[in-house]
Structure 1
Amino acid sequence: MPELDPGTSGVAKRADHLRIPVTQSTEEDSWLVTYLDVITLLLVMFVVMLALSGGPSEEPGEQISLAPPVVEPLATVPEPATGQTPASSESEAFADRARATLQAAGLGDDITVIPQQDGVRFRISNDILFGSGEAVLSAEGVRQLENLVPLLADSDYQVTVAGHTDSLPIQTPRFPSNWELSSARAGSVVRLFEAAGVARSRLQAAGYADTRPLYRNDTEQGRSRNRRVEIILEGAPSR
Structure 2
Amino acid sequence: MARKKKEECKSVPGWLVSFGDLMSLLLTFFILLYSMSTISLEKFYQSIRGITEAFGGRTLKSEDKIIQGKKVELDFPMYPKIKKKKAVQKKLNEVKDMLQKAGLNAEVVSHGSLIKLRLFSDKIFPSGSAYPYKNVIPYIMTLCEKLRDTGLPLIIVGHTDNVPIRGGRFRNNLELSAARATNILRLFLKCGYEQKALAAEGRGEFEPIAPNDTPANRAKNRRIEFVIDLSV
Please indicate, yes or no, whether the TM-score normalized by the shorter chain is above 0.5: yes
**Residue 147 of structure 2: aligned partner:** 152
Cα shift at 1:236: 7.3
Sort the Cα spacing of 1:171 and 1:101 in 2 relative to 1 into closer, same or farther, 3 A: closer
Q: Helix, strand or coil: the match of 1:176?
A: coil
Q: Which has the larger displacement, 225-234 or 143-152?
A: 143-152
CA contact (8 A) 1:161 1:205 kept: yes
Please identify runs of 4+ aligned residues in structure 1 that moved more than 4 A.
none
Higher helix share goes to which structure? Answer: 2
**Residue 191 of structure 2: aligned partner:** 196
Q: Distance in 2 between matches of 1:128 and 1:104?
A: 14
Q: Distance in 2 between matches of 1:203 and 1:103?
A: 24
CA contact (8 A) 1:114 1:120 kept: yes
Read off the aligned partner of 2:84 and give its amino acid letter. Answer: E
Q: Distance in 2 between matches of 1:215 and 1:202?
A: 30
CA contact (8 A) 1:157 1:236 kept: no
Q: Helix, strand or coil: the match of 1:133?
A: coil
Identity %, equivalent residues: 27
Q: Distance in 2 between matches of 1:155 and 1:216?
A: 35
Read off the aligned partner of 2:89 and give its amino acid letter. Answer: A
CA contact (8 A) 2:108 2:118 kept: yes
Read off the aligned partner of 1:90 and give its amino acid letter. Answer: K
Q: Distance in 2 between matches of 1:104 and 1:211?
A: 29
Q: Helix, strand or coil: the match of 1:156?
A: coil
- Superposed CA deviations along residues 5-59 of structure 1, whole A, max 9, x for unmatched, are xxxxxxxxxxxxxxxx9xxxxxxxxxxxxxxxxxxxxxxxxxxxxxxxxxxxxxx
Aligned pairs (5 A) from 1:57-76:
none
State yes or no: 1:172 paired with 2:204: no
Sort the Cα spacing of 1:173 and 1:99 in 2 relative to 1 into closer, same or farther, 3 A: closer
State yes or no: 1:93 paired with 2:93: no
CA contact (8 A) 1:159 1:231 kept: yes
Structure number with bigger Rg: 1
Please, what TM-score do these two structures have when normalized by structure 1?
A: 0.59
Q: Distance in 2 between matches of 1:171 and 1:183?
A: 17
Cα shift at 1:220: 0.4
**Residue 220 of structure 1: aligned partner:** 215
Cα shift at 1:157: 1.2
**Residue 210 of structure 1: aligned partner:** 205
Equivalent position to 1:130, from 119, 125, 132 = 125
Please, what TM-score do these two structures have when normalized by structure 2?
A: 0.61
**Residue 103 of structure 1: aligned partner:** 97
Cα shift at 1:113: 1.8
Read off the aligned partner of 2:181 and give its amino acid letter. Answer: A
List runs of 5+ in structure 1 lacking aligned partners. 1-20, 22-79
State yes or no: 1:232 paired with 2:227: yes
CA contact (8 A) 1:159 1:232 kept: yes
Q: Distance in 2 between matches of 1:212 and 1:119?
A: 16
Sort the Cα spacing of 1:108 and 1:136 in 2 relative to 1 into closer, same or farther, 3 A: closer
**Residue 31 of structure 1: aligned partner:** none
How many positions carry a matched residue from both structures? Answer: 157
Give the RMSD, CA atoms, in angstroms.
2.6
CA contact (8 A) 1:91 1:116 kept: no
List runs of 5+ in structure 2 lacking aligned partners. 2-53, 56-75
**Residue 37 of structure 1: aligned partner:** none
Equivalent position to 2:179, from 184, 209, 212 = 184
Read off the aligned partner of 1:224 and give its amino acid letter. Answer: A
Read off the aligned partner of 2:171 and give its amino acid letter. Answer: P
Cα shift at 1:182: 0.5
